[in-house]
Chain A
């Protein structure tokens, strides 16, 4: 619980630093992209804070490259 509050505080600090200049210049798209990325960051951090498993991007890559890797291992080892 404390971890989530800490993460939300950090997110609030980031909002406090970044949002006023964006609002001032009326950058709407930037604000949208910024909010989506921040939401992903907060979501992932809280998931990690509760020690729930997060899918590892490298495992997906390993599955994608597995056939090619087998060919290379067969040829070169």
Chain B
């Protein structure tokens, strides 16, 4: 059973449906936010004179097409794009490694406990908590449960590891201050790649690594929203919901952040709480209510 069906069975029909509907809103709004992040990146770093409309619409068209083709196509796309990502990432790390300056890490262990806890919260809100949307398709559409469970854990840890490498590379090359000021530190990192006046200006190739990952992420958010709404309303074919939802997603992605400041504020303060409601407390609540129900 998917997360929506589980919450309906455990928490009762109406309360479960209400909670599932807010979960649908969560994944839908976050899909819109990710589209905003893509178009914001393209408009600040790559194509500064282009308006947001064409970028958002094109990106959403691909996502709508992907979810129209269904889960198997999405999974195979991931399978196909993963080696490309790994290759690009390895090249990236190798090419940037001559510029690593260990002095940038100093002073070490000067941080107080409070900011450390806060940064850990931010870190986990990016790489592990959003994986709750995978629970929309995870136990349902899997043949081999044991293998899939291991793959889930390994994937989470690998994702965190990749993020850790990127963060430490940014700090060791750019320095902590400049990393915290930049909107796209890894892009600045890729701009710095220069090997003997021969390999130069390859930042957009490196950015394609980021496009691959954010495309898969947005696709999963949107697909989870679509099948979530389908299961809440118990429709027989969720495909008919995709095109209208894609149309709404265009509008949502255009209005969601009026400015970069708004986006930064939201991601720093509200997003941690918002994602932990669904990534942490909703599964815990379902587990506890299920245990209590079994006792009585």
Decide whether A and B assemble into one complex.
yes
Binding site for B on A (CB under 8 A): 10-11, 14, 17-18, 21-22, 25, 27, 29-31, 33-34, 37-38, 40-42, 44-45, 48, 54, 56-58, 61-62, 65, 68-69, 72-73, 75-77
Residue of A nearest to B119 (CB): A76
Contact of A45 among B33, B121, B247 (CB under 8 A): B247
B233 within 8 A of A: yes
A57 CB to closest chain B CB (Å) equals: 6
A77 CB to closest chain B CB (Å) equals: 7
Binding site for A on B (CB under 8 A): 25, 29, 33, 114-115, 117-118, 121, 233-237, 240-241, 243-245, 247-248, 250-252, 254-258, 262, 265-266, 269-270, 272-274
Known contacts A34-B244, A40-B244; A58/B251 CB under 8 A: no
Q: Which residues from B are CB-within-8-Å of A18?
A: 240, 243
Pairwise interchain contact A58-B244, C-beta atoms closer than 8 A = no
Known contacts A41-B247, A58-B29, A69-B269; A48/B240 CB under 8 A: no
> Given the complex of chains A and B, what is the CA–CA distance between A8 and B270 in angstroms?
36
Contact of B248 among A30, A40, A72, A75 (CB under 8 A): A40
Residue of A nearest to B269 (CB): A69
B115 CB to closest chain A CB (Å) equals: 7
Pairwise interchain contact B244-A57, C-beta atoms closer than 8 A = no
Residue of B nearest to A27 (CB): B236
Pairwise interchain contact B247-A58, C-beta atoms closer than 8 A = no
